[in-house]
Amino acid sequence: MSKIIKSENIPKSMQLIFDSIVNLTDEFSKKHLNDEYAQLIRYATAALCRKKPSPLTNGKINTWACGITYAIGFVNFLFDKSQTPYINAGDLCKEFGISKSTGGSKSKVVRDALNMVQLDPNWCLPSQLESNPMAWIISFKGLMVDARNLPRNVQEIAYNKGLIPYIPADKCNKNDT
- Distance, in Å, from the CA atom of 47 to the CA atom of 119, rounded to the nearest integer, reads 18
The alpha carbon torsion through 26, 53, 61, 39 (nearest 10 deg) reads -10
Is the distance from CB of 85 to CB of 118 less than 8 angstroms? Answer: no
pTM of the model: 0.86
Say whether both 43 and 109 belong to one domain: yes
Say whether both 110 and 152 belong to one domain: no
Give the pLDDT mean for 24-40.
98
> Would the pLDDT of 173 be above 70?
no
Give the pLDDT mean for 119-127.
91
* In a domain? residue 1: no
CATH number at residue 110: 1.10.472.10
Q: Which domain holds residue 47?
A: 13-122
Number of domains in the chain: 2
Helix (H) or strand (E) holding 138: strand 137-140
Nearest to 34 by CA among 93, 96, 85: 85
Say whether both 149 and 66 belong to one domain: no
- Distance, in Å, from the CA atom of 58 to the CA atom of 147, rounded to the nearest integer, reads 42
Say whether both 87 and 166 belong to one domain: no
> Would the pLDDT of 74 be above 90?
yes
Say whether both 117 and 142 belong to one domain: no
> Would the pLDDT of 129 be above 90?
no
Q: pLDDT tens-digit profile of 18-28?
A: 999 999 999 99
The mean pLDDT value of the chain amounts to 92
> Would the pLDDT of 132 be above 90?
no
Say whether both 24 and 95 belong to one domain: yes
**The pairing of beta strand 137-140 with beta strand 143-146:** antiparallel
* In a domain? residue 8: no
Give the pLDDT mean for 154-174.
84
Residue 111's DSSP bridge partners are: none
